[in-house]
Structure 1
Amino acid sequence: MVKITELKEKEVVNIQNGCKLGYVSDIDINLEDGVVEALVIPGGSNFLGLFKRNNDIIIPWNFIRKIGVDVILVDISDNIT
């Protein structure tokens, strides 16, 4: 089990290209189903125009491959539009 506060301490890294996306600032939760739907990373720059909400990067939960001790590995293909 992982607490939200623990998620905020982990750096998010894309396994497709090794790009460090930043740290989790928030999460999106589906209150009806009680499941986490996405991680929110504050975006200083636009990451390929993907998952952009204002300046934030939105990482859908199904893109997360591994939550480790220090990092969260995500799989975001450069071909996603």
Structure 2
Amino acid sequence: MRLCELRQKEVINVCSCASLGCVIDVDIDPKSGQVLALIVPGPGRFSSWFGREHECRIPWRCICQIGEEIILVELEDPHPPRH
């Protein structure tokens, strides 16, 4: 699967049934080539016009399934790790 294909998929947290947004980047270990995490945009400050406060880093181990249109992740913490 290519990054451009991942970027078209919406990320859903199965613990809260909340949409986390679409993948904007991936974190890759340069030594092993392994994907460490998916990066999704964080919540907007006041409005999306003013940019994003942070990006949410979703560890690869939290990914349950990658489907045709969505990626299911299991994040117990309502505030995923920040990047």
Task: Specify if TM > 0.5.
Answer: yes
Deviations 1:6-32 (A, max 9, x none): 000000000001000000000000010
**After the TM superposition, which residues 1-81 of structure 1 pair with which residues of structure 2 at under 5 Å, given as runs?**
2-45=1-44, 55-78=54-77
1:12-58 Cα offsets, whole Å, 9 max, x none, are 00000100000000000001011000000011249xxxxxxx51010
Q: Give the Cα separation in 1 of the matches to 2:39 and 2:77.
A: 19
Identity of matched residues, %:
38
What RMSD in Å do the two structures reach over aligned CA positions?
2.1
Unmatched runs of 5 consecutive residues or more in structure 2: 46-52
Return the alpha-carbon distance in structure 1 between the equivalents of residues 35 and 22 of structure 2: 17
2:61 is paired with a residue whose SS is helix
SS in 1 for 2:4: helix
- How many residues matched? 73
- Structure 1 residue ranges (4+ consecutive) displaced by more than 6 angstroms after TM superposition: none
Structure whose alpha-carbon radius of gyration is higher: 2
Instruction: Give ranges in structure 1 of 5+ residues lacking alignment.
Output: 47-53
CA distance in 2, matches of 1:42, 1:15: 18
